[in-house]
Structure 1
Amino acid sequence: MTNPWIIALSAIFLWWASTGLILWRVRKADLGGPDDHLWSVILGLPLLVGGVAGAHASAGQLTVGSVYSGFLSALAFWGWIELAFLSGIVTGPDRKPCPPNAPFPERIWRAVGSILWHEFALIAGLLALTHLTLDAPNPFSALTFATLFFARVSAKLNLFLGAPRINTEFLPKPLAHIASHFRKAPMTALLPLSIAALALATGWWAAQAANATSDAPFIGYLLLSVLTALALIEHLFMVVPIPDQKLWRWMLPEAPTVPTKQDT
């Protein structure tokens, strides 16, 4: 597939579908037994193993197939780490809500403590894929993971420092305390800088795709451009009043309603 529209739509669909599947599994575990979140992470281990194996197998050659394989492998690797985080298995040592009037240094300390192991896992994944593709013909698994990594770091910083719109609807029970570290407030200087940086990165990847002399790098850079544009849109959702949660809300199971006295 070298049609740019098909490539772009494929990237958008994979982003939407992979996000939705993770949210669906986490919501199902929320509604299940006490060990369901742990089982989600254990049963999801093929994502981790397949992601690493796919990235390793695709790094040695730069072809259309290997570029798609590297991209999908990075998404699988990333998806398992996110599943482990949202399931409350790989989070951090501090699992208590942050007091509402905590001073700024304490807020930083508590926020870092709430996601520390998750950040270590992401950094380890980034270093592993970077090492794997450092001198390899196909760098796109590492570039995909790096794009997701830096976009996520930017989002976390903006949610911590303050943003006008913060959606906590999809936070699972094991991460209920995370909402206390978000700050709903007028945007800081970081948010427009983040949006500008993501817009420049989107344009840079698109320019690399336009200047590519063969199909494989064209596809790889175009996938990265679309992925970065999606991260840009996610940052804009922190400002623009658009109910983005509707993209996935319809596909998630609802908690059973508890009948009131009037209903009995």
Structure 2
Amino acid sequence: LSRAPAQFCSGAGAAAMKAVRSPALRLWGRLAESAHLRRRERQTVLEGVHLLQGYQAKGGIPLHWFIRASVVADPEVSALRRHSLWPEAAVLADDLFDEYSSLQSPGGVAALVSWPAAPAFLPTEESCLVLDGLQDPGNVGTLLRSAAAAGMPTVVCASGTVQVWSPKVLRAGMGAHFQLTLHEGADLRDWFPCYAGTILGAEREASRAYDDFDLTGTVALVIGNEGAGLTPDARKLLHDRIHIPMAAGVESLNAGVAGSILLFERQRQIRAGNRERQERQG
């Protein structure tokens, strides 16, 4: 692989450096733009120090990675470079890095990585969060962050949900991807009948509030599309519907917020149960 030279240029030197287009750099541009290519190659783009730190902490090794010349001496960037198993980074002139970066304020580092293969089988006896046709990358990233924080380690994305390994979802997830087991493209019609737990779908028209349910057992919490809600396939296979009471005149909650409330209600119930058991034993 030919790399952009590790040099720090200005003036005419920077213009010459901008002309360098290594295969890895071209791949960065293609992966950032094409969901089809990402899915076919099972590769994606990470941008920003925080994401790369999370990836490195979980033992990830990038295929290629890039550093913006002006941040090469940054302590956090230097720490990333010290990893003995990581390949040498390509240091790019600032204008060249910015040309490929999808961030309005480039974070200074980017990596091309392979995403992990999901387990061969969907969960049948463990709790999970189910995303049913969500399309907003910010909502999906928020829900992944909340799932990781609330101790829900498995997330199932039904067919029609935005690509969970897209750069936008990765940025919104802020490293949560590396703490979760993620399934994509699930067919709910095939999977839900095999699920041993309770399947609860969030719907504003439901008659029972979220805190009326026992969420401490094996449960699948299903969050529907931002506008259309749950798909007909999911709705037909629910065991019950659950809603979040809101003040009069408020139509609905953001999908990311609604799902997060349910996830942390489950965590609250589990913690309350643990306290009760400890008090009985004490």
TM-score normalised to the size of structure 1?
0.25
Structure with the larger RCO, 1 or 2 (CA within 8 Å, 6+ apart): 1
Structure with the largest fraction of helix: 1
